[in-house]
Amino acid sequence: MGSPASDPLIGKVVGPCRIDEYLSRGGMGNVYRGRHLALDREVAIKIIEPPVVNGEAVVQAVLREARAAAKLEDPRIVQVYDVGQQGPYCYIIMQLMRGETLERMLVRRRFLNPPEALKIMREVAAALAVAHRLGIVHRDVKPGNVMIDEAGQVRIMDFGIAAPVGSDPQAAGSVDFMAPEQAYGGKPDPRTDLYAFGAMYYLMLTGKFPYPASSTNEAILKHRDAPIPCVRDADPSLTRFTSCLIARLMAKTPDERPSSADEVIKALDSPEMLMESQAARMDDGLHAGAPLPPGPPAVPLPSVSPTALSQAIFLGLVSVAFCRAWASAVQADWMAAGFASASLLLPFYLGEREGWRRKLPAAAALLCMIASFYKFGLPGSLDWVPSRAPSIEVLILLGLGAAAGAGSLWEGVFDEESRSLELALWLLALAVVSLALGGASLRLSGQGDLWWPGLKDLAVREGRSFLSSQGLWRWLGVAVLYAGSWVFFPKRKQTVQKIEGRVVGYA
């Protein structure tokens, strides 16, 4: 690609190099061809744009990339020579590669034949093995970061978001190749790179992304929830061994993938990658290569699918046993309902249901929690207007509780792209406490009692009323109904997914 005429950096000297030509867009910045003036040598220069480099975090990321790549002295990895900052520009000076990226090759050819793809992936796996042995996870393995020079040499590049194994979690990478745990902030793990390796291999052989998506959020959810695609569905001529290897690489959890890049290399070196039958191997005098790493034990839970009649009988028995007790419900039942609704939010936060099946019930549970605490605070069982206007402190507590509850629901259910269960649970706890105190304070408004003694008297009074009205039996019925629904009603179970007869994960 020629340099844009309007690029202000062409002809300028940045660090020890003169910038001569724009080459491409790279991670976090542009890549140029330049000349190292002191060494009189052509080099590649990555420049981070001024609007971006102002952030100290980005500068540190650039330095991290250079230092990580500088440790990796291997012919399959693009070498880094120097790094620095000059004015607003942060730069990395790298080995200049003449050729094209795998991404450009795929745009030009759409897909590769199996022997050619195998050769490229063998070199990429070897480069990853070198990085992993040094404790470095690339975290952005994709065709755009694989360079193929004019002699056919394959090199991996751009360690811009690389991180040490087990370091602080950070959601970053390219969503079309991103492992499920990486999208949700899992700690850097070499098996994350292997997932991206498998997704890239699938693309090379089929010309299609494993999980086509119209948005970032949709792609992340498909990588997490959708069944693993079978490469032979796109091209039946590919071997079963290749299909099983890609499926194992793209398993949903790290433990179900090969344990290291070295194991992947052994599988790639197996004759089964290109040869289907045992007879063909014997004719050529070849021996079977190393088998794929064994899969996890396939022990799914037994499926529970009761008939409609059994459900009706169960509900009828529970109704006869417990529903009459609710005729004597008291105000304290509303407080209990608030806590019960809060506890019901947890299955929706942690569940794997997608779309409206998780969002609508979770929103309903949140509204029930807010309404229950508010109803507890009203003085009469049917009087929806407080006898006296609540104080500003009561309104603040109720408003804070409602805001924390809404934020908890957003973080735990609706914001699926950067979902934070820990923050959601903290916000839920704040919502429960604030709404409970707000409801109790609302009940005290108009009574003229001091706040803290009034709260204690209210707790004692409502507790006695709850016990004397058989409240424990009422809520025991609710607990039995909820527990029974999990035992007697059908629910979604994890099912073992197999491709070509091999266990590859759980769908």
pLDDT in tens, 104-161: 899 888 889 899 999 999 999 999 999 999 888 888 899 988 999 888 889 998 776 6
Copy the structure tokens of residue 123.
């070199």
pLDDT tens-place string over residues 25-75: 755 678 888 999 988 899 988 887 655 545 666 666 666 666 766 777 788
pLDDT of residue 451: 65
What's the whole-number mean pLDDT along residues 89-112? 87
Per the document, the length of the chain is 507
Alpha-carbon span 395 to 399, nearest angstrom: 6
- Write down which residue in 95, 126, 144 finishes a domain: 95
Residue 169 vs residues 49, 61, 145: alpha-carbon distances, Å: 26, 14, 22
Task: Name the amino acid, one letter, at 326.
Answer: W
Alpha-carbon span 220 to 231, nearest angstrom: 20
What's the whole-number mean pLDDT along residues 240-254? 91
Flag the least confident range among 201-210, 300-309, 456-465, 492-501. 492-501
pLDDT, greater one: 323 or 337: 337
My answer on whether 411 and 454 are in the same domain is yes
Range of the domain at 29: 13-95
pLDDT of residue 203: 94
Asked if residues 403 and 395 have their Cβ atoms less than 8 Å apart, the reply is no
pLDDT of residue 500: 45
In a domain, 494, yes or no: no
Phi/psi of residue 92, nearest 5 degrees: -130, 130
In a domain, 323, yes or no: no
pLDDT tens-place string over residues 405-431: 888 888 888 876 566 777 888 898 999
My answer on whether 376 and 442 are in the same domain is yes
Q: Write the CATH number for 282.
A: 1.10.510.10
Residue 323 vs residues 213, 373, 467, 496: alpha-carbon distances, Å: 48, 22, 17, 40
If you average pLDDT over every residue of the chain, what do you get? Answer: 77
Phi/psi of residue 16, nearest 5 degrees: -90, 10
* Whether pLDDT at 180 is above 80: yes
Phi/psi of residue 494, nearest 5 degrees: -70, 135
- What are the helix (H) ranges across 101-215? 102-109, 114-133, 180-183, 190-206
The share of the chain scoring above pLDDT 70, in percent, equals 71
In a domain, 32, yes or no: yes
How many domains does the chain divide into? 3
My answer on whether 134 and 243 are in the same domain is yes
pLDDT of residue 323: 67
Radius of gyration of the chain measured on its C-alpha atoms: 30
My answer on whether 80 and 113 are in the same domain is no
Reduced to 3 states, what is the DSSP secondary structure of residue 353? coil
My answer on whether 108 and 219 are in the same domain is yes
Q: Assign 197 a pLDDT band (cuts: 50, 70, 90).
A: very high
* Whether pLDDT at 223 is above 80: yes
pLDDT tens-place string over residues 271-316: 878 775 433 333 333 334 445 544 444 444 444 445 566 666 666 7
Alpha-carbon span 203 to 280, nearest angstrom: 27
Alpha-carbon span 41 to 62, nearest angstrom: 23
Core vs surface per residue 253-275: b (16+ CB within 10 A) or e:
ebebbbebbebbbbbbebebbeb
Core vs surface per residue 448-475: b (16+ CB within 10 A) or e:
eeeeeebbeebeeebeeebeebbbeebb
* Whether pLDDT at 213 is above 80: yes
DSSP state of 77: B
168 assigned to active site: no
Would strands 99-101 and 80-86 be described as parallel, antiparallel, or unpaired?
unpaired
My answer on whether 334 and 254 are in the same domain is no
Would strands 163-164 and 154-156 be described as parallel, antiparallel, or unpaired?
unpaired
In a domain, 166, yes or no: yes
H or E stretch covering 466: helix 451-468
My answer on whether 168 and 283 are in the same domain is yes
* Whether pLDDT at 342 is above 60: yes
Q: Assign 5 a pLDDT band (cuts: 50, 70, 90).
A: low
My answer on whether 347 and 276 are in the same domain is no
My answer on whether 251 and 133 are in the same domain is yes
Q: What share of the chain is helix, strand, coil (3-state, %, to 5)?
A: 50, 15, 35
In a domain, 426, yes or no: yes
Q: Name the β-bridge partners of 154.
A: 148
Q: Write the CATH number for 79.
A: 3.30.200.20
pLDDT of residue 120: 94
The share of the chain scoring above pLDDT 90, in percent, equals 15
* Whether pLDDT at 448 is above 70: no
Q: Assign 196 a pLDDT band (cuts: 50, 70, 90).
A: very high
My answer on whether 384 and 418 are in the same domain is yes
Asked if residues 176 and 208 have their Cβ atoms less than 8 Å apart, the reply is no
φ/ψ region of 302 (left if φ > 0, alpha if ψ in -120 to 50, else beta) reads beta
Cα 79 to chain centroid, rounded: 31
pLDDT of residue 17: 93
pLDDT of residue 236: 84
Q: For residue 54, count other CB atoms closer than 10 A to its CB.
A: 11
- Write down which residue in 78, 95, 112 finishes a domain: 95
Reduced to 3 states, what is the DSSP secondary structure of residue 307? coil
pLDDT of residue 473: 73
In a domain, 61, yes or no: yes
Highest mean pLDDT among 328-332, 339-343, 381-385: 339-343
In a domain, 401, yes or no: yes
- What are the helix (H) ranges across 273-386? 278-283, 308-322, 332-350, 356-377
In a domain, 492, yes or no: no
What's the whole-number mean pLDDT along residues 476-480? 75
pLDDT of residue 496: 44
* Whether pLDDT at 504 is above 50: no
My answer on whether 183 and 291 are in the same domain is yes
Asked if residues 229 and 497 have their Cβ atoms less than 8 Å apart, the reply is no
Q: Name the β-bridge partners of 148.
A: 100, 154
Single out the catalytic residue among 7, 20, 140, 283.
140
What's the whole-number mean pLDDT along residues 424-439? 88
Alpha-carbon span 301 to 299, nearest angstrom: 7
Highest mean pLDDT among 165-169, 171-175, 486-490: 171-175
Q: What is the DSSP string of 238-302?
A: S-HHHHHHHHHHT-SSGGGS-S-HHHHHHHHTSGGGT---HHHHHHTT----PPPPPPPP--PPP
Alpha-carbon span 423 to 412, nearest angstrom: 8
Q: Assign 318 a pLDDT band (cuts: 50, 70, 90).
A: low
Residues with Cβ within 8 Å of 343's Cβ and at least 6 positions away in sequence, in order, are none
pLDDT of residue 438: 84
Highest mean pLDDT among 52-56, 196-200, 241-245, 254-258: 196-200
Q: Is the pTM of this model over 0.75?
A: no
pLDDT of residue 286: 35
My answer on whether 129 and 78 are in the same domain is no
Reduced to 3 states, what is the DSSP secondary structure of residue 506? strand
Alpha-carbon span 383 to 116, nearest angstrom: 77
